[in-house]
Amino acid sequence: MKERQPIHPEREKQEILNAYRGLLRAHSSRDKEATRRIRKAFNVAVEAHKDMRRKSGEPYIYHPIAVARIAAEEIGLGTTSVICALLHDTVEDTDITLENIHSMFGPKVASIIDGLTKISGIFDATVSPQAENFRKMLLTLSDDVRVILIKLADRLHNMRTLSSMQQNKQLKIASETLYLYAPLAHRLGLYTIKSELEDLSLKYKEPSAWEEISQKLKKGKAVRQRFISRFILPIKRQLNNLNYIFEVKGRPKSVYSIWNKMRTKNVPFEEVYDLFAIRITLNVPVGAEKSECWKVYSIVTDYYKPNPDRLRDWISTPKGNGYESLHTTVMSPSGKWVEVQIRTRRMDEIAEKGYAAHWKYKTKGEKSQESGLDGWLARIRELLETSAENAIDFIDDFKMNLFTDEVYVFTPEGDLKTLPKGATALDFAFDIHTQVGQKCLGAKVNHRLMPLSHKLRSGDQVEIITSEKQSPKNDWLKFAITTKARNKIKSALKEEKKNIAAEGKEMLARKLKSLKANFNGENIDVLIRKYKTGSALELYFRIAKGNIDLKKLHKTNIAVKNGMISPVSEKKQQKNNSLEQIITRYNGTKDVLLIGDEYQKLDYTLALCCNPISGDDVFGFITVADGIKIHRATCPNATALMGNYAYRVLQAKWVSQSLKEFEASISFEGIDDLGLVNNITSVISAQQNINMKAISFESNDGIFSGKVRVLVHDTDHLDTLIVELKNVDGVHQVERLTEHL
Ligand code: MN
């Protein structure tokens, strides 16, 4: 933790003023009235926060100033947003009320501050899952998107200053950022902010990986730069000859994206070949953008051979989030593929700052500049209004829509529709109209009959065939991927379920009457618990479907007294097993779960998705059915668990216990050679106390690969074995596996 030395109050005042002036410089408007209003907001915020300090010890006001500066400088927002950012924590944390804000700054500022306050109220509560909060946050999109943009600026500044927080808080905040905020920034087209959020999250989640990659990037910088300047030399010369005004830069990949590639492709840093891209930014008039970009493409490919599979034209058809650029991958003389991005200054600003910049070019004037949102936001609003049942489902659907690339397809009339990659004919039908989706029988794709599950490709022309008799089916959820289609299908299915449940309800009412029990809320609750249906709807539905047999409900398994029923001999189940109760029980016990501590009478098991062994960085996750599960910090599920259920996460660490053994699996790869298997097995058995549980080999055209499961004491023990195996002649790669072979 960083501690700040106390400094002189006068100097502190000066520092605050300097920060404020920096903000004014960053804000593009030189309008007198705008500056006066910002000054007013600044004064109000300084006064309101005057006795507060941040965890780092610095005056609290640094934070809102920094957030306002990010909003102006890095997102390109206007005066209203700067004012709101300055005031964003006042209603939440100080004596200032919303009414005060309203009378000082008017209704628009007040409504944005209201939105921000509501979000933060929800966000600080530790009782409800993050996913639900996130949905609520997105709901405010329907009020004013500036709420979200300022919240992103707020989160970015908190991430930049995360080092002063406690370690377990750092982990939770970083996970949540990676899980929710970075994808959101991405979808809003804020690429720079998205990359920074990802990099900062990684820095706290995987400090050693982050450190290693940053160091290696730094080390290779000189070599890279030499390569880049040699590569762009002829292009530069030619562009100069043709009197272009342009800029050429080598853009390094972010630490996070390198890490991600290493992990998903399972390659070391040295094998990530596209560590950077070349970006050519042209200064040309708007009308000439497209043709000029293609001219430059032609110049680049005069010198270097392009890979025809890697041409991306997002100028003719911009991405859904507004991104425009022309990408090509060409072969350099040294035999390396290099990505070249060609765009104009306007496109570049949109790519960096996202929607805010988009509006700036679309319309003039503050009002329309920030409120004119098209396409995506309209879609988000629509799906929010149909309100998904389950928040986690919603986030998963939503995230899927965030990450996927897009396909462009046409209606029979030639209208262009943008859908996420992987979208099916059914998604297309729902995109046309809910009625078309619900009555959809099949589709003609490029005039050929195709099933509803048919995946669409860019350029397809799709005609939907409907029937009045058709209605949404459960199956459809298997291949509908857009949030809109899924929500509509789910709500239609639910409607149908409700109708069926209505019958069940009547059956139950008759049954209760015959038992001389009342049909009331208390009695229904008893039955919901007895049959573990979770809801009355589900109870009625199962009764109607015959899954719950009412004939078996009689006075031997329930007691009826004065019209009220109660369960018989199910005392055990009443023993505090709701999730909240389990959490309080565990959280009450100790700050850190000590695994292997005999005295800590908590039941935990090691998660099968990542198979931790003693010495791994781990955390505990509270489950309803199985007590505490121990996961590795690097578990593929860790981010989702922490991001969604931070309140169920326990800090955990190992206490030494030399006698216990853990199973770990290792994979290896190398050049096939006589006796290699023998060498490997003898290395393993020569290691002290290591038992092999299983081993498998495969050989393919001279390359062999294998897996082995062993019993080890801890990570040291395992690491030693891995090093020994790497030293075997012919072995190229040895790796610990997440899941057992
Ligand atoms: Mn804040």
- Strands 627-632 and 618-623, how do they pair? antiparallel
Residue 380: alpha-carbon gap to chain centroid: 16
The three-class DSSP label of residue 534 is coil
Tokens of 683: 């290395």
Q: Which of 26-40, 42-56, 138-152, 575-589 has the lowest mean pLDDT?
A: 575-589
Contact 574, 526 (CB under 8 A): no
Residues 358 and 232 in one domain: yes
Write b or e for each residue in 9-32: b if 16 or more Cβ atoms lie within 10 A of its Cβ, otherwise e.
eeeeeeebeebbeebbeebeeeee
**Top mean-pLDDT range of 232-241, 411-420, 465-474, 507-516:** 232-241
Residues 509 and 440 in one domain: no
Give the model's pLDDT for residue 37.
Answer: 93
Cα–Cα–Cα angle for 373, 377, 379, nearest 5°?
135
Residues 433 and 413 in one domain: yes
Cα–Cα–Cα angle for 113, 118, 120, nearest 5°?
95
**Is 197 part of a structural domain of the chain?**
yes
Residues 292 and 336 in one domain: yes
Nearest-angstrom CA–CA distance, 597 and 603: 11
Q: How far away, in angstroms, is 387 Cα from ligand 1 center?
A: 28
Strand partners, 733: 669
Q: CATH number of the domain at 682, please.
A: 3.30.70.260
Q: CATH number of the domain at 99, please.
A: 1.10.3210.10
Q: How far away, in angstroms, is 147 Cα from ligand 1 center?
A: 12
Contact 543, 550 (CB under 8 A): yes
Q: How far away, in angstroms, is 739 Cα from ligand 1 center?
A: 40
Q: Which amino acid is at 292?
A: E
Q: CATH number of the domain at 389, please.
A: 3.10.20.30
Strand partners, 339: 277, 329
Q: How far away, in angstroms, is 70 Cα from ligand 1 center?
A: 12
Residues 194 and 73 in one domain: yes
Q: How far away, in angstroms, is 401 Cα from ligand 1 center?
A: 28
In this model, does residue 363 exceed pLDDT 50?
Answer: no
Name the residue with higher pLDDT: 313 or 674.
313
In this model, does residue 124 exceed pLDDT 50?
Answer: no
CA nearest 128: which of 647, 508, 572? Answer: 647
pTM of the model: 0.59
Q: CATH number of the domain at 298, please.
A: 3.30.460.10
Write b or e for each residue in 139-161: b if 16 or more Cβ atoms lie within 10 A of its Cβ, otherwise e.
bbbeebbbbbbbbbbbbbbbbeb
Measured between its terminal Cα atoms, the distance across the chain in Å is 41
What length does the chain have?
741
Give the model's pLDDT for residue 370.
Answer: 35
Residues 676 and 715 in one domain: yes
In this model, does residue 388 exceed pLDDT 50?
Answer: no
Looking up tokens 């008893």 gives 526
Give the model's pLDDT for residue 681.
Answer: 80
Give the model's pLDDT for residue 562.
Answer: 81
Q: State the DSSP code for 456.
A: P
Nearest-angstrom CA–CA distance, 233 and 278: 12
Name the residue with higher pLDDT: 535 or 389.
535
Nearest-angstrom CA–CA distance, 111 and 145: 12
pLDDT digits (tens, 9 = 90+) for 213-222: 999 999 988 8
pLDDT digits (tens, 9 = 90+) for 28-74: 777 888 899 999 999 999 999 988 888 888 899 999 999 999 998 88
The three-class DSSP label of residue 202 is helix
In this model, does residue 559 exceed pLDDT 50?
Answer: yes
**Is 411 part of a structural domain of the chain?**
yes
Residue 167, Cβ neighbours under 10 Å: how many?
A: 10
Mean pLDDT of 696-719: 81
In this model, does residue 110 exceed pLDDT 50?
Answer: yes
Nearest-angstrom CA–CA distance, 24 and 20: 6
Give the model's pLDDT for residue 380.
Answer: 52
List, by residue number, the catalytic residues.
Answer: 92-93
Last-in-domain residue among 567, 595, 628 = 567
Name the residue with higher pLDDT: 541 or 275.
541
Residues 358 and 253 in one domain: yes
Nearest-angstrom CA–CA distance, 230 and 222: 12
Contact 355, 388 (CB under 8 A): no
Q: How far away, in angstroms, is 26 Cα from ligand 1 center?
A: 19
In this model, does residue 590 exceed pLDDT 60?
Answer: no
The three-class DSSP label of residue 75 is coil
The share of the chain scoring above pLDDT 70, in percent, equals: 82
Residues 239 and 160 in one domain: no
Residues 285 and 166 in one domain: no
The share of the chain scoring above pLDDT 90, in percent, equals: 25
Contact 670, 733 (CB under 8 A): yes
Q: How far away, in angstroms, is 131 Cα from ligand 1 center?
A: 20
Give the model's pLDDT for residue 237.
Answer: 94
Give the model's pLDDT for residue 157.
Answer: 95
Q: Report the mean per-residue pLDDT for the chain.
A: 81
- Strands 312-313 and 731-736, how do they pair? unpaired
In this model, does residue 702 exceed pLDDT 80?
Answer: no
In this model, does residue 430 exceed pLDDT 90?
Answer: yes
Q: How far away, in angstroms, is 88 Cα from ligand 1 center?
A: 6
- Strands 662-671 and 731-736, how do they pair? antiparallel
In this model, does residue 734 exceed pLDDT 70?
Answer: yes
Contact 581, 628 (CB under 8 A): no
In this model, does residue 1 exceed pLDDT 70?
Answer: no
Mean pLDDT of 435-449: 88
CA nearest 148: which of 187, 196, 107? Answer: 187
Residues 486 and 501 in one domain: no
Tokens of 138: 């997105």
Looking up tokens 């996913």 gives 131
Q: How far away, in angstroms, is 54 Cα from ligand 1 center?
A: 10
**Is 29 part of a structural domain of the chain?**
yes
User: DSSP readout, 149-187?
Assistant: HHHHHHHHHHHHTGGGS-HHHHHHHHHHIIIIIHHHHHH
Residue 602, Cβ neighbours under 10 Å: how many?
A: 17
Mean pLDDT of 505-521: 87
Residues 563 and 594 in one domain: no
Q: Structural domain tally of the chain? A: 6
Nearest-angstrom CA–CA distance, 351 and 324: 7
pLDDT band at 139 (very low <50, low <70, confident <90, very high): low
Maximum distance among all alpha carbons in the chain?
98
pLDDT band at 547 (very low <50, low <70, confident <90, very high): confident
Mean pLDDT of 159-165: 91
Residue range(s) defining the domain that contains residue 681:
662-737
Last-in-domain residue among 172, 205, 238 = 205
Name the residue with higher pLDDT: 249 or 9.
249
**Is 265 part of a structural domain of the chain?**
yes
Mean pLDDT of 126-132: 47
**Is 1 part of a structural domain of the chain?**
no
**Is 2 part of a structural domain of the chain?**
no
User: DSSP readout, 122-143?
Assistant: HHH-SSS-HHHHHHHHHHGGGT
Give the model's pLDDT for residue 195.
Answer: 92
CA nearest 23: which of 85, 102, 110, 108? Answer: 85
Cα–Cα–Cα angle for 609, 614, 616, nearest 5°?
65
Residues 92 and 175 in one domain: yes
**Is 475 part of a structural domain of the chain?**
yes
**Is 689 part of a structural domain of the chain?**
yes
Looking up tokens 């003023």 gives 17
Neighbours of ion ligand 1 (CB under 5 A): 89, 154
- Strands 592-595 and 627-632, how do they pair? unpaired
pLDDT band at 126 (very low <50, low <70, confident <90, very high): very low
Q: How far away, in angstroms, is 91 Cα from ligand 1 center?
A: 11
Name the residue with higher pLDDT: 62 or 420.
62
Contact 517, 459 (CB under 8 A): no
Last-in-domain residue among 567, 602, 620 = 567
